[in-house]
Chains A and B, each alone.
Chain A
Amino acid sequence: MKIRKDLLILSFMTMLLSFFIVKCFDNQRIGYDIGVTTSVRKIQELISQLKSLQEANSQLKEELKQKEVVLNKYEEEATGRIYRGEEIRAQLEQARILAGLTDLEGPGVEIILNDRKRDTIMPSELYSISDFIVHDIDLLEVVNELKAAGAEAIAINGTRILATSRISCGGPTITVGADQRFTPPFIIHAIGDPDALASYFKRPDSVYHVLTFYGLEFSIKKLDNVKIPRYYGDVNFNYARPVEGGE
Chain B
Amino acid sequence: MLLPIIGILVGIILGLTLPIHIPTAYSPYMSIAVLAALDSVFGGIRASLEQKFEADAFISGFFGNAFLAAGLAYIGDRLDVPIYLAAIFAFGTRLFQNFATIRRHLLNRWRERAR
Q: Which A residues fall within an 8 A CB radius of B?
A: 3, 5-24, 26-28, 30-33
Q: How far is the CA of A237 from the CA of B3 in the complex (A)?
A: 63
Task: Decide if B14 touches A19 in the complex (CB within 8 Å).
Answer: yes
User: Which residues of chain B are near A33, meaning CB under 8 Å?
Assistant: 24-25
User: Which residues of chain B are near A20, meaning CB under 8 Å?
Assistant: 15, 30, 33-34, 37
- 16 more CB-based (< 8 A) A-B contacts, given A15-B10, A20-B33: A7-B1, A10-B48, A13-B40, A13-B58, A15-B8, A17-B8, A17-B11, A17-B37, A18-B12, A20-B15, A20-B37, A21-B11, A22-B16, A24-B34, A27-B21, A27-B24
- Main SS of chain B's interface residues? helix
Q: Which B residues fall within an 8 A CB radius of A?
A: 1, 3-12, 14-16, 18, 20-22, 24-25, 27, 30-31, 33-34, 37-38, 40-41, 44-45, 48, 51, 53, 55, 58-59, 62
User: Which residues of chain B are near A18, meaning CB under 8 Å?
Assistant: 7-9, 11-12, 15
User: Which residues of chain B are near A5, meaning CB under 8 Å?
Assistant: 55
Q: Give chain B nearest CB distance to A17 CB in angstroms.
A: 5
- Main SS of chain A's interface residues? helix
Task: Decide if B34 touches A21 in the complex (CB within 8 Å).
Answer: yes
User: Which residues of chain A are near B58, meaning CB under 8 Å?
Assistant: 9-10, 13
Q: Give chain A nearest CB distance to B109 CB in angstroms.
A: 14
User: Which residues of chain B are near A23, meaning CB under 8 Å?
Assistant: 15, 20-22, 30
Q: Top 5 nearest A-B pairs by Cβ distance?
A: A22-B15, A11-B7, A18-B11, A15-B11, A15-B7
Q: Given A5-B55, A17-B38, A24-B31, check contact A10 B11 (CB 8 Å).
A: no
User: Which residues of chain A are near B27, meaning CB under 8 Å?
Assistant: 24, 27-28
User: Which residues of chain B are near A6, meaning CB under 8 Å?
Assistant: 48, 53, 55
Q: Which of A7, A15, A32 is close to B14, meaning CB atoms less than 8 Å apart?
A: A15
Q: Give chain A nearest CB distance to B21 CB in angstroms.
A: 7
Q: Give chain B nearest CB distance to A15 CB in angstroms.
A: 4
